[in-house]
Amino acid sequence: MALLEIEGLKTYFTTREGVVRAVDGVSFHLDEGELLGLVGESGCGKSVLALSLMRLVPPPGEIVGGRVLLAGRNLLELSEEEMRQIRGSRIAMIFQDPMTSLNPVYTVGEQIAEALRLHRKLSRREAREAAIEAMREVAIPDPDRRVDDYPHQLSGGMRQRVMIAMALACDPQILIADEPTTALDVTIQAQILELLDSLRRTRNLAILLITHDLGVVAETAERVIVMYTGRIVEESPVEELFAHPKHPYTEGLLRSVPKLTLAGVRKAERLQAIEGNVPKLTRLPPGCHFAPRCPYRMARCTESEIPLYELGGGVRVRCVLYDSTVIARADVEEKSATR
């Protein structure tokens, strides 16, 4: 069952150089208890999408279109006071760098308790006890003592656990995790991802995991959305995406991931990269935004906007290679060539 539905969401930034379409007509859904991965290069609109769902887009950004439906209720139509009640209690978010997200002059216990006092109307003593329990749930050792520590007294992994405890203290239905393991070493990354997955299962929590790390997605997600220049270019179950990527951009991302080489197998001299550069968001090419970098580009790619083609099995792809007319034409040309 879809808990969160996004329909045609658009978030634009008006700059001196022109309008930046950071999120441009994005539509997808997030089901109860699901972990959905959102991947793409830096600057593709992942974090702006997350902030748009929370209605926290900083100026000059503005949500100019679309709907964000939480259990059928459009969050974009709510007053700021109503939205403030939903943040934390219904939808929570954890950010990339916990050191900049936590207030350095308050103890971590006070910062967790603040959300509990605000949303659950607990007394200071009750909120402190609930904060200790929240820290215990995310496996922070000795939470009765750590509750009085300041952020600088904790390691990066412990600070991220505090952020998770703070986000989940009021038992939200949805957690948006924006690059939650970026600043952590590999061992701590694995622990945080394992913790998130465990909390998802025990709480039936829906998680939107935003990352540029395809390895993280492969290990944790059930479905994957790939973004490029503010648009979804592919959506697929995780096994299907890694086994049979459909969009040329997804193919390029997977080819560029470093791989271990078996003994006796000649290792490639260089990592394979996607040729070209991401276009400036104020001067996007017509039609398919990936066309200038695509090895399969054809005239049709730049003639008009490319829709998301439904391929069945939960797969959607924004590429003319899956347009029925292009497929039919290719079949005719192949038959003619074999005669």
Query: Which pLDDT belongs to residue 266?
Result: 58
Domain ranges of the chain: 1-90+172-259+272-339, 100-171
**Among 134-143, 266-275, 326-335, the least confident range:** 326-335
Q: Say if residues 174 and 196 touch (Cβ distance below 8 Å).
A: no
Mean pLDDT of the chain: 87
Q: Which residues pair with 9 in a beta bridge?
A: 26
Per-residue pLDDT tens digits for 236-270: 999 999 999 999 999 998 888 776 655 555 555 66
For residue 161, which of 179, 180, 144 has the smallest C-alpha distance? 180
Per-residue pLDDT tens digits for 71-126: 889 999 999 999 988 988 899 998 877 677 888 999 999 999 988 888 888 888 99
State yes or no: pLDDT of 42 exceeds 90.
no
State yes or no: pLDDT of 225 exceeds 90.
yes
What average pLDDT score do residues 144-171 get?
89
Share of the chain above pLDDT 70, in %: 91
Supply angle C-alpha 220, 131, 186, rounded to 5.
30
State yes or no: pLDDT of 331 exceeds 70.
no
Q: Which residues pair with 328 in a beta bridge?
A: none
State yes or no: pLDDT of 333 exceeds 50.
no
Find out if CATH 3.40.50.300 is the number for domain 1-90+172-259+272-339: yes
Cα–Cα dist 294/288, whole Å: 10
Per-residue pLDDT tens digits for 172-222: 999 999 888 776 777 888 888 888 888 899 889 999 999 888 888 888 899
Cα–Cα dist 63/60, whole Å: 10
Q: Cβ-count burial of 150 within 10 angstroms (0-12 exposed, 13-18 middle, 19+ buried)?
A: middle
Cα–Cα dist 178/47, whole Å: 7
Contacts of 236 by beta carbon, 8 Å cutoff, 6+ apart? 223, 224, 246, 314, 315, 316, 317
Cα–Cα dist 283/186, whole Å: 37
What average pLDDT score do residues 155-178 get?
89
State yes or no: pLDDT of 5 exceeds 80.
yes
* pTM, full prediction: 0.88
For residue 101, which of 157, 151, 46, 175 has the smallest C-alpha distance? 151
Residue with tokens 């993280």: 216
Categorize the per-residue pLDDT at 339 as very low, low, confident or very high, splitting at 50, 70 and 90. Answer: very low
Share of the chain above pLDDT 90, in %: 53
